[in-house]
Structure 1
């Protein structure tokens, strides 16, 4: 069975930490060949690693465009035929609508796909290709953090209101629905 797994939620809810756990689990399976990708625009902590907020990191391939993921995985001639390819993508919301095509091409070539990314932008609107990825998923992990009022947060508020998309952690905070709309 092929899997499309999505890890989503607002900032600071543990998406990257869960993705890293799944990467390490897959790396322990003898017949899995793992690939880890991130958008090159996400250079907050590292140019070439998926890094959680607590500093844990796993080496990754930074790509400018989502289809680079497909070409890299499909054209990998060093993978033994008996290996199952498992593709991990962090910060997937930055690949926009192309994310659906990336997932479809990878699955059509026999890969399992696990992606992590924000489902909503700081205006509370669906973010990039994540809503479509969630619709295609065989499994979804919707994670939450805590709002300053104590409720579970589902949205990431932009305290500075500079722009909808800013790479980085500064100026963002986990927010519950009530606080977000107040």
Structure 2
């Protein structure tokens, strides 16, 4: 007979891991993160979830996907706070990783090296199609990367870009459907479409 404690011990012996869920806005990143975290909870693993304190679009104390799926989370000021708050845990979820500081890749590495499964979700590119924040570094060190695609609102093809509808050049601008729309490469580069 296998006991839950034996499973946890075996997992720690095998070492932790870093998983990344990335893609454009409206591609289902947060929904996939929530799905993975709920499965870990079903497996009786201790789960902690973190999000950047600056992102309060839906709920200050929960991750909420665009289709209203939610799970409680802890908002933090910076990546190093995660190390202070994550104790005696098997799985850590981090949402909106692109908004964290450049310490996040090191924090993820430290946690994974302690035997923790770290699941990170975030935009891989900003509205100009450039790598966004700490995401490229985390993707480079991750055991697995899942890139999700939204549906292009112009033509229906898979969308990998977050096209900004408002004339704001700041890299970070919180917004939803009033501010952004998913577009495929062709519709993103042919802006007159």
Q: Which residue of 2 aligns with 1:110?
A: 115
Q: Which residue of 2 aligns with 1:167?
A: 174
Q: Which residue of 2 aligns with 1:37?
A: 50
Q: Aligned partners of 2:103, 2:43: CA distance in 1, in Å?
A: 30
Aligned length: 173
- Report the TM-score, using the length of structure 1 for normalisation: 0.91
| Aligned pair partner of 2:26 in 12, 26, 29 | 12
Shifted more, 13-22 versus 147-156: the winner is 147-156
Superposition deviation, residue 109 in structure 1: 1.9
Q: Aligned partners of 2:51, 2:171: CA distance in 1, in Å?
A: 20
In the TM superposition, structure 1's runs of 4+ consecutive aligned residues that sit over 6 Å from their partners are: none
Q: Can you list the C-alpha shifts for 1:108-145, whole angstroms capped at 9, x where unaligned?
A: 22211001000000011000000111111111110001
| Aligned pair partner of 1:28 in 33, 38, 42 | 42
**1:76-91 pair list within 5 angstroms:** 76=87, 79=88, 85-91=90-96
| Aligned pair partner of 2:159 in 131, 153, 156 | 153
Superposition deviation, residue 161 in structure 1: 2.7
Superposition deviation, residue 107 in structure 1: 1.4
Q: Aligned partners of 2:165, 2:50: CA distance in 1, in Å?
A: 29
Task: Specify the structure having the higher radius of gyration (Cα).
Answer: 2
3-state secondary structure, aligned to 1:157: strand
The answer on whether the counterparts of 2:101 and 2:133 sit within 8 Å (CA) in structure 1 is: yes
- Uncovered stretches (5+) of structure 1, i.e. residues with no partner: none
Does residue 142 in structure 1 map to residue 142 in structure 2? no
- Uncovered stretches (5+) of structure 2, i.e. residues with no partner: 1-13
Superposition deviation, residue 164 in structure 1: 2.4
Q: Aligned partners of 1:95, 1:164: CA distance in 2, in Å?
A: 13
Q: Aligned partners of 2:85, 2:187: CA distance in 1, in Å?
A: 43
3-state secondary structure, aligned to 1:70: helix
3-state secondary structure, aligned to 2:119: strand
